[in-house]
Structure 1
Amino acid sequence: MPTTDSTTGLDPAVAAQRLSEEGPNELGISQRRTLRDMAWDVVTEPMFLLLLGAGAIYLAMGDAHEALILLGFVVIIMAITVLQERRTDNALNALRDLSSPRALALRGGTLVRIAGRDVVREDLLMIAEGDRIPADGKLLQAHELAANESMLTGESEPVAKQPADKVFAGTLVVSGQGLLKVTTVGRHTELGRIGQSLDTIALQASPLREEMARLTRKLVVIGLSLCALLVALFWALRGDWLQAVLAGITLAMGVLPQELPVIMIIFLALAARRLAAQQVLTRRLNAIETLGQTTVLCVDKTGTLTQNRMAVAALCIAGQELDVQNLPAAADGSALPDAFHELLEYAVLASEIEPHDPMEQAFHRMAADHLVDTEHLHPAWSLAREYELSPQLLAMSHLWRDGTSAHDTVATKGAPEAVADLCHLPDAERAAVSAQAARLADRGLRVLGVAKARHRTQDTWPDAQHDFDFEWLGLVALADPLRPEVPQAVAQCRQAGIRVVMITGDHPRTARAIAAQAGIANDRVITGDELTQMPPQELANQVRQVSVFARIKPHQKLALVEALKAQGEVVAMTGDGVNDAPALKAAHIGIAMGRRGTDVAREAAALVLLHDDFAAIVLAIHRGRQTFANLRQAMVYTLAVHVPIIGLALLPVLFGLPLVLAPLHIAFLELVIDPACSIVFEAEEGAADLMQQPPRAADEPLLSARHILLSVLQGSVVTAAVVGLYAWLLGQPAHAATASTAAFVVLVAANAALILPSRSSQTRWRSLWAGLTPVSLWVAGGTLAALAAITTVPWLANAFRFVPLSPLHWFMALLAGLLLTVVFAANKRWLQPTAPALHPSPA
């Protein structure tokens, strides 16, 4: 068996073979529902039990043929329901796989980002602060590494790690970085043996789900009350208790709203799957409904608005500025003036040896182009001590030891004002540095100060950077171009009534310049220091107006989120670091960066941008609005088609007419309603002006009184048409079976026709046919074909107790059902002036 090379990592072919032989890196506790679980859920549903009850009554009445037909429908409905559940479950499982911890693996000499489930034994993994360790292993390298192992030990204090120490799956790297060789994966890890699971994506409680539960409970109460009334009336008027119970079951099958929660879950799960195809991972499904309510979008600058592809643009020493963007590469340093060699040298020394940060990578690239054959690169030096960046001091230092000198070398880089403070610059020099940094920042460049110090080798290292005697070297300015799609995406947000707020740690002038390029309002920029000094009332006033915040420390993001929420805003917030997690969790929608983000940030977030693309956020908001709009229309349609079922169950009993509907007919109607709701409406593109409308109010219900009124009105129109035609045909020479057949044709045709005006909230006549999807045509065509089959094929028609219709009766029934489209559209237009919620005016 090939072993892992310490410099190139595991061979990709070996990794693929090992993954195939040993299975994925999962904990062995299946969260995936089996087909048997799904079938059992269907068996315990009210609709299934009602069908069985109806079949038992037919057997008691001696009608075994009808009972067997019902049993056939039970099998069909179960199969369709299980397939629908399977589709939803597959969508959720795909999201679970995406949301597992990611790993940076060294394979074949190349660092690749892979899913945690694809990690195999003997993989070499690079781990850094904020990473969730995906498997058990042994450290080959460790630099200031500490891990939080509280989920295994219960001990909250981080544990310092050294080379050769073990680290465990599921634990969190809280500082430093290292190289890990995987020893065990999956259920063989410590976490797997304990039996915990991190791979959990579930539908959380949400206002929409609670609203749906309340509506379902109300409809159940109404339905059961109507069933009891129908049974009592039937028994009292006709004296046949078995027929009375059968009529009650028929009505219960038509009234009980078992589709509503199922439709909601399908819509949210499939919306999440569609978002995943657009490189946006949904970790919490209820975030999809909240997306349409977003009023403020708080975003980072670096990597979100900009490309996160930094390059050194300028070097400044003592007021002298050198533009290096078009400088030709020369390894001997001849293209770069000697005066600037030391500045670049110490910028590299203040960076990581193997940097992941794009800014530090830019320093290393420039040094490779200009300092390779000079004395300013020091590959033999060892990094003895690192002083990390902190919210209190926006600068970091590296202490290097060459092994021969009596002094260690200290290199520092950070915010110009922080490094100037470390150097104790006189006021005049500090002002000059500030002015130079401001001029560079006005061009949208990120500006860093660089300094150096010496420290006696035999002396104890100080605890704080302030204890070194630093000497100012100069400024380094880096360019990070704006993403080309950002201005248009910001404009889309503005049209949609969403305010974009930029929160960055950069210089205020850099922030203002980038905001101007992106189209974000930047009349005033507030810094973190100003934020700290603001009383709560002033902060509340400022967050209403200011859209650019600079030099913001991570913990101040949380204060901004809370201040915005206190103003009644629905806040979406992007973040990538460990310290961003509280703000991501506090925001209504936390959005983590997938490529440069830490596992901690991803776990705290509701959405993860797999490509760190700002435009993807706008796509997600559009998808959230579209899903909510489609779900609303599906619910309006669902309620509407249940109204005639109630009418056709009650009215014939009240007027002494033969019954129109039997349990078999209701089962057929359920096969029509479910695909129409879950397939047709979910696939709708939605109104073209969705992103020109203001955000949905946080307290706006899915179904207002006016939406319910529209459903009842549309359903009542169908009821009147069906019962009217039925009663008229009974008064003609036509047989009762002819009348019931024609009435059923009208009912099904009207339900199919109701799909057209229900697809959107538009009221224009041409909107009935505009944007018809192939799915809509297939469902409508399939419904009419199935209707033709059960009314014309003799053995099917006998099962449904239908008789062949004459061409005249067919024409009358179909025409009556399809012409109702005109009435449906007129109803929407009639309700429109008093129901703005049906179609909000564009912003």
Structure 2
Amino acid sequence: MAEQSSSHRHGAQGLSSAEAAERLARDGPNQLPGNAPKSTFAIVREVLTEPMFLMLLAAGGVYLALGDKGEALFLLSFVFVVIGITLVQERRTQRALESLRDLSAPRALVLRDGVQLRIAGRDVVCGDLLVLREGDRVAGDAQLLSGQLEVDESLLTGESVPAAKHPRASESASTLQADTDSDRVFASTVVTRGTGLARVHATAGHTAVGRIGTDLATTQTPPSPLQQRSRRLVRSLGLLALALAGAQVLLGWGWAGRPLLDSLLSGIALAMALLPEEIPVILTVFLALGAWRIAQRQVLTRRITAVETLGAVTVLAVDKTGTLTMNRMAVAELATPTLQWRAEGAQTLPEALHPLVEWAMLATPGDPFDPMEKAIQHFGHTWLQGTEHVHDGREPEFAYDLSGEILAMTRVYATGAPQQHLLATKGAPEAVADLCHLDADRRAALRRQVEDLAERGLRVLGVARGQWTGEGASPGQPPAWPGSQHDFDFEFLGLMALADPPRPEVPEAIAQCRSAGVRVVMMTGDHPATARAIARQVGLSERPQVLTGDELQALDDATLRERLRHTDLCARLKPAHKLRLVQALRADGAVVAMTGDGVNDAPALKAADVGIAMGERGTDVAREAAALVLLQDSFAHIVAAIRQGRRIDDNVRKATRFVFAVHVPIVALALVPTLLHWPALLLPVHIVLLELLIDPACSVVFEAEPEQADTMQRPARPVQDSPFALRALLRPLAQGLGVAALLLGAQAWLHAQGWEAAQGRAVVLGTLLVCVLLLIQAQRDPTRPLLVLQARANRWLAPMAAAVGLLLAAMLGIPALRDLMGLAPAGLAAWGAGAGVLVLSVVWLEGLRRIARRKENAR
């Protein structure tokens, strides 16, 4: 319950906390049926149908046919180990996703015990009073008690035009409205305009959307581009594995003269060595846990696919208010053509300025949600307290909202005379001046005043008042309101300037973006001079050029793209302008992350590569359209998310490189002995043993790898740069080939020296296990020598090394296990060959690292 305020002005109290808790316990949470976590049975079934398990079964069957029951049982016992590891990984991933689901659950503003509380939508119960505002997603089926709303019900009806909602005139009117839903709002629909108070009468599966079915709940998120590429790769390598395994069997049986069953074991071992089953695990675990890690930075991931895009962001398009600034506005200055007044240090407010403040308050809702409007009401109640200029409780007859055509809003009030109405207006100074039909001289003077205020970083509003006679209206009926605010006559009262100081952490965060090659572009509806002043204060840009909404409309797409290459500040924008700017940046090759909070920001948030909604002041519509939601509206948290996105991207690439590097020697040791008429070096049981090390290395060690020192000192990677591209895999393939050549060389020397096959196998397998650790270390940080420890250690690396040591000690020191694995004790000379392989492997890996670094520095 993150938000609290005073009692709603309608005087309703709502449920008590005790009543709400009792109803929640009785009726259950307010949520539709969702995707249940995978059951243990489902996970086990998936494991049993995987190609690797089917190969284990085939290998076990061959051992049984050979009469080696011990080997067969030992091999098949690994199935339970694989199932255990899979269960742990699945549960870990599921916990991360459930944590994100809890965070991303819709929230609702309700009245309880007479105060407004922001609670999770799942905690809404029947009888709750919902406070509904523009952009809110309705938490349950409810009856509107007060206010007027327009609601998007397309989810239920398919009708794109918002439905008007208003409360019943009286209980006696219920029969007249029995066949309509004009006083009802429904769960999952969105308020597009207005405010209101509604009482919930149905939740969860009893709502209209709940009765329709669970299609939304069972909708699966499509795989990300990276996941799609990985699936194609695994499928291709799987087919290659089957083809080579078949060739291996034929070569061993028909050419090398091995028995058929021995050849089948070699073929199965080769297929198991070639299958890169770790790749899907890497992406599933890394993206899910990456989203969870980003949530720890106060950024909620609504779409897991956004995690992989974060690492490629090159342009960050941000609003000014609440993102770069504190969003804690206060009226700082007032100005009329003849008088300028500053709040700082003032003791009294001159009488001449009272009308300006009075009409600014009348042009503002009495219980506002917007921080700027809150500041206006707070200022008026502070400085006009006890005067006749405060009109609390006075409700307008009609209101004209801010629109794309007129950047001003007008509230119309009744007077004592039936057809006489008062008008209170505030908005952009130039828009209000236009409504007041000021002459050229007054406009020029006003422009100079506005620029003087805006250049100090103040947000400037114009205020006006007017009168209107509703001609032709019959008694007791509302007049025919004009279609536009331009149809009224207004008197310009003056300017109100509000201060919203920059967030203290923004300059450092912008500096990080600059060093990371991420360009920050401000997109604001404020005056160009205000945008320029704030940009100067936070270090966003030294370029003075500002692109305004009016200028943008006059540019064609090509000219706009060219202009944006040299412009960091965009001001006086309307929502449609933001969408076009995002599209222009993307068309120019940028990967765009964009922030937004309003209903009208939703199209631009959807169009961006990564839409980021404000969680504190944002609307539900913006949050639904966005891929990320800031739990705290801070620019620094956006930069932290980009940093985490780059870390996740780096670790996916490290793990992928390791998979390819480690599989090369395994494949070579399974394939080459057949070609050279050697005894088999790696059997299926050895492959499974290696997989039990490789899987945790990918899903645990590399996922926990700390970020590199240069994470935010290098440009973003190209969005189409795949970790599976050949260019990215050349070095790991070379690493694996070098290790494979050294291991095969050691085996050739041992064979020439007369060591038995089981002894040679023990040395080669033991050395390969240690080489797995070397290959892990080789992928971690290409800027550091192989055997130099990193400043930020990986907490899972030591347990991994300990596991390798225990495994080596067990398989070489326990006779029964040693015999089951076809190994035999070897002398010091044989292990000396293994030690030599390790030394030469370090030299090989370090040499490749230095060559790669030299090439990078030469670019």
TM over 0.5: yes
In 1, Cα distance between the equivalents of 2:463 and 2:858?
55
In 1, Cα distance between the equivalents of 2:532 and 2:30?
46
Which of these residues, 440, 453, 463, is aligned with residue 427 of structure 1?
A: 440
| Residue aligning to 1:162 | 166
RMSD: 2.3
* Worse-matched range after superposition: 191-200 or 566-575: 191-200
Query: Is residue 2:145 matched to residue 1:140?
Result: yes
In 1, Cα distance between the equivalents of 2:527 and 2:534?
11
In 2, Cα distance between the equivalents of 1:21 and 1:732?
79
Query: Is residue 2:835 matched to residue 1:822?
Result: no
Alignment of 1:336-485 (within 5 A): 336-401=349-414, 407-456=420-469, 459=473, 460=479, 461-485=481-505
| Change over 3 Å in CA distance of 1:688–1:445 after alignment to 2 | same
Q: Is the 8 A contact 1:763 1:829 kept in 2?
A: no
In 2, Cα distance between the equivalents of 1:804 and 1:736?
11
| Residue aligning to 1:35 | 40
Which of these residues, 545, 552, 565, is aligned with residue 531 of structure 1?
A: 552
Q: Is the 8 A contact 1:754 1:821 kept in 2?
A: no
- 1:250 is matched by which residue type in structure 2? A
| Residue aligning to 2:245 | 227
In 1, Cα distance between the equivalents of 2:243 and 2:447?
77
| Residue aligning to 1:150 | 154
| Change over 3 Å in CA distance of 1:529–1:32 after alignment to 2 | same
Which of these residues, 689, 695, 717, is aligned with residue 674 of structure 1?
A: 695
Query: Is residue 2:297 matched to residue 1:269?
Result: no
In 1, Cα distance between the equivalents of 2:215 and 2:858?
44
Superposition deviation, residue 188 in structure 1: 1.5
Secondary structure at 2:146 match in 1: strand
Superposition deviation, residue 817 in structure 1: 3.3
Q: Is the 8 A contact 1:52 1:71 kept in 2?
A: yes
| Residue aligning to 1:54 | 59
Q: Percent identity?
A: 49
Secondary structure at 2:410 match in 1: strand
| Residue aligning to 2:270 | 251
Which of these residues, 779, 798, 801, is aligned with residue 780 of structure 1?
A: 801
Deviations 1:502-543, CA, capped at 9 Å, x for gaps: 010001111111111121224111211111122333222211
| Residue aligning to 2:317 | 298
Which of these residues, 199, 203, 207, is aligned with residue 185 of structure 1?
A: 203
In 2, Cα distance between the equivalents of 1:655 and 1:153?
72
Alignment of 1:614-763 (within 5 A): 614-732=635-753, 734-762=755-783
| Change over 3 Å in CA distance of 1:402–1:53 after alignment to 2 | farther
Deviations 1:239-298, CA, capped at 9 Å, x for gaps: 522222222111111111111122112111111110011111112222222222222111
In 1, Cα distance between the equivalents of 2:335 and 2:786?
66
| Residue aligning to 2:476 | none
In 2, Cα distance between the equivalents of 1:712 and 1:664?
24
In 1, Cα distance between the equivalents of 2:761 and 2:244?
22
Which of these residues, 90, 105, 108, is aligned with residue 103 of structure 1?
A: 108
- 2:482 is matched by which residue type in structure 1? P
| Residue aligning to 2:511 | 491
* Worse-matched range after superposition: 167-176 or 54-63: 54-63
Q: Is the 8 A contact 1:149 1:155 kept in 2?
A: yes
| Residue aligning to 1:331 | none
In 1, Cα distance between the equivalents of 2:18 and 2:750?
75
| Change over 3 Å in CA distance of 1:813–1:13 after alignment to 2 | farther
| Change over 3 Å in CA distance of 1:128–1:380 after alignment to 2 | closer
Superposition deviation, residue 477 in structure 1: 0.4
Q: Is the 8 A contact 1:575 1:584 kept in 2?
A: yes
Superposition deviation, residue 821 in structure 1: 2.5
Deviations 1:80-130, CA, capped at 9 Å, x for gaps: 012112211222232233223221223333333222222222222221122
Superposition deviation, residue 370 in structure 1: 2.1
- 1:358 is matched by which residue type in structure 2? P
| Residue aligning to 1:609 | 630
In 2, Cα distance between the equivalents of 1:136 and 1:269?
33
Q: Is the 8 A contact 1:29 1:197 kept in 2?
A: no
In 2, Cα distance between the equivalents of 1:559 and 1:769?
45
In 2, Cα distance between the equivalents of 1:767 and 1:267?
26
| Change over 3 Å in CA distance of 1:523–1:117 after alignment to 2 | same
Query: Is residue 2:620 matched to residue 1:599?
Result: yes
Query: Is residue 2:572 matched to residue 1:551?
Result: yes
In 2, Cα distance between the equivalents of 1:240 and 1:323?
97
Q: Is the 8 A contact 1:138 1:180 kept in 2?
A: yes
In 2, Cα distance between the equivalents of 1:16 and 1:819?
68
Superposition deviation, residue 840 in structure 1: 9.9
Superposition deviation, residue 708 in structure 1: 2.2
Q: Is the 8 A contact 2:786 2:842 kept in 1?
A: no
Deviations 1:204-253, CA, capped at 9 Å, x for gaps: 44432233233323322332222111111111123522222222111111
Superposition deviation, residue 27 in structure 1: 0.8
| Change over 3 Å in CA distance of 1:717–1:320 after alignment to 2 | same
Superposition deviation, residue 804 in structure 1: 4.0
Q: Is the 8 A contact 2:248 2:671 kept in 1?
A: yes
In 1, Cα distance between the equivalents of 2:812 and 2:197?
71
Q: Is the 8 A contact 1:96 1:200 kept in 2?
A: no
- 2:247 is matched by which residue type in structure 1? L
- 1:672 is matched by which residue type in structure 2? L
Query: Is residue 2:308 matched to residue 1:289?
Result: yes
Superposition deviation, residue 761 in structure 1: 2.8
| Change over 3 Å in CA distance of 1:823–1:665 after alignment to 2 | same
Superposition deviation, residue 767 in structure 1: 5.0
In 1, Cα distance between the equivalents of 2:290 and 2:648?
7
Which of these residues, 531, 535, 548, is aligned with residue 515 of structure 1?
A: 535
Q: Is the 8 A contact 1:486 1:614 kept in 2?
A: yes
In 2, Cα distance between the equivalents of 1:777 and 1:118?
44
Superposition deviation, residue 399 in structure 1: 1.2
In 2, Cα distance between the equivalents of 1:483 and 1:420?
32
Count of aligned positions:
828
- 1:149 is matched by which residue type in structure 2? E
| Change over 3 Å in CA distance of 1:789–1:702 after alignment to 2 | same
Normalising by structure 2, what TM-score? Answer: 0.92
Q: Is the 8 A contact 2:409 2:427 kept in 1?
A: yes
Secondary structure at 2:489 match in 1: coil
- 1:352 is matched by which residue type in structure 2? P
Superposition deviation, residue 776 in structure 1: 1.2
Q: Is the 8 A contact 2:109 2:119 kept in 1?
A: yes
In 2, Cα distance between the equivalents of 1:532 and 1:508?
16
In 2, Cα distance between the equivalents of 1:123 and 1:815?
75
* Worse-matched range after superposition: 461-470 or 451-460: 451-460
- 1:480 is matched by which residue type in structure 2? D
Q: Is the 8 A contact 2:597 2:618 kept in 1?
A: yes
Secondary structure at 2:406 match in 1: coil
Query: Is residue 2:331 matched to residue 1:312?
Result: yes
Which of these residues, 202, 206, 215, is aligned with residue 233 of structure 2?
A: 215
In 2, Cα distance between the equivalents of 1:326 and 1:195?
62
- 1:558 is matched by which residue type in structure 2? L
| Change over 3 Å in CA distance of 1:772–1:430 after alignment to 2 | same
Superposition deviation, residue 612 in structure 1: 1.4
In 2, Cα distance between the equivalents of 1:198 and 1:618?
32
Q: Is the 8 A contact 1:422 1:465 kept in 2?
A: yes
| Change over 3 Å in CA distance of 1:538–1:760 after alignment to 2 | same
Secondary structure at 1:537 match in 2: helix
In 2, Cα distance between the equivalents of 1:641 and 1:689?
26
- 1:225 is matched by which residue type in structure 2? A
Secondary structure at 2:437 match in 1: coil
